Structure 1
């Protein structure tokens, strides 16, 4: 029995090494109408990352079925699943779409810094009277985002209910909800909503803490973008955001910055 377990462990270990060995350096090129330098490319499957050069070109270790995640402040996020054809091709070309803002940024009057406390002190805005001041009931919940509405529509309500009647009872199934789960639509929408939540949180943290984190740090803007993506991919990131504990969040960001620098130095030494 012990020999069998040992043999199984050895086979599993060899399999892991073989899978790692199958990854090769794949070249890619990001195509867009504007600047394509400094866009970070993450292999989510292998936890590898790199950034594009001034031509939008990059090199990253990957194999078929790996998922590449391309993220930028200027372009829409994109996921690309590597195929066997991509492995054998000379270069993978990935088209990026520019983010479209509803309104151009216009600065009127006093300049806001992005820090809530500072901006409140700097602005001429007065506190609005709300329903609490008037002593009437109200709702402070924020409206659902478009993706949250889609998830609520796909997964809302009970899976089934028991109905009674003069001729006996029965179970009424929520087929809409069941079919969405079977098709994977619910799972996909949950992933989209989670990604939105991660983006919201990391944007807030950048506004509040970027100047503190990099006060005595020479990390370039492109690498800072990569560092924040590296932080937001942590499995504990979302739960920390929901705690809304600024001390814990700042400690977390400092720990991730240290880990990111170690990874960066290791990559440079290689």
Structure 2
């Protein structure tokens, strides 16, 4: 009986050790080149680091943790770790550069030339983003019409699922931009007591809350402030439990 109890305790101890977070060495690249100054956020643990000038990073993580890779020049990428993630060192994550915004664009003439002005689309028609248009095209199967070849191929290839993911990431980036317009990092640290090294992680944590995302989209800062207080308390408990 004592021997059986010993074996059970040993197995439980080994399981607990295996579930503890450990240092994960990784590198973020685009093509053959490392990408510097990318925020690597473990949204599960609330830990954040930044890549060095060659794209390398080290972060505390374990299998099942969700990582987010973000800076102003790349398209946000999310990645869920598994046991194989720790078998390769460094873990290489490939990202893509996003479109770069111009500091200023001045148009002196023809300011009213657009799709509505040219009569291409009806006036007041809803305009879709690139990701929304691609998702609509990929998934359109209207009842009562002949089904085209593209939707069938997309259902087989999983392209629709991929485009849904791209659309979700686009919404995430949009919400993050809106939040940055309402709150700066100093304000988050001072008013909500979020430590400096966790600010970016908290921002991603907050915008995943549907009510908060809707509040900042509507620029309702009173409601956003109310929700932020509760979210900050929960986030501080989360990072305290992972220390």
For the criterion TM > 0.5, the same-fold answer is yes
Distance 1:72 1:205 in 2: 15
2:157 is matched with: 183
Shift of the 49–95 alpha-carbon distance from structure 1 to 2, 3 Å rule, reads: farther
Max Rg structure: 1
Which runs of 5 or more structure 1 residues have no equivalent in the other structure? 1-16, 109-127, 132-136, 163-171
Q: Residue 74 of structure 2 contacts residue 98 of structure 2 at CA under 8 Å; is this kept in 1?
A: yes
**In the alignment, is residue 30 of structure 1 matched against residue 27 of structure 2?**
yes
Taking structure 2 as the reference length, the TM-score comes to 0.64
**C-alpha displacement of 1:69:** 2.7
3-state SS of paired residue (1:52): strand
From 123, 128, 132, the equivalent of 1:138 is 123
SS at match of 1:161: coil
1:151 corresponds to 2:135:
yes
Instruction: State the SS of the aligned residue for 2:166.
Output: helix
The DSSP-based 3-state class of the residue aligned with 2:124 is: coil
Q: Residues of 1 paired with 2:17 and 2:162: CA distance?
A: 28
CA–CA separation in structure 2 for the residues paired with 1:233 and 1:75: 20
Match of 1:161 among 121, 141, 144: 144
Query: Residues 72, 20 of structure 1: CA spacing in aligned structure 2 closer, same or farther, 3 A cutoff?
Result: farther
Secondary structure (helix, strand or coil) at the match of 1:262 reads: helix
- Residue 229 of structure 1: how far off its partner (Å): 1.0
Q: What is the total number of aligned residue pairs between the two structures?
A: 210
Say if 1:94 and 1:38 are closer, same or farther in 2 by CA, change over 3 A. Answer: closer
Helix, strand or coil at the partner of 1:48: coil
Alpha-carbon distance change, 49 to 176 in structure 1, aligned in 2, over 3 angstroms: same
Q: Which has the higher contact order (CA 8 A, sep 6+)?
A: 2
TM-score, scaled relative to structure 1: 0.58
Q: Secondary structure at the match of 1:181?
A: helix
The aligned counterpart of 1:101 is 100
- Please report the RMSD computed on the Cα atoms of aligned residues, expressed in angstroms: 4.1
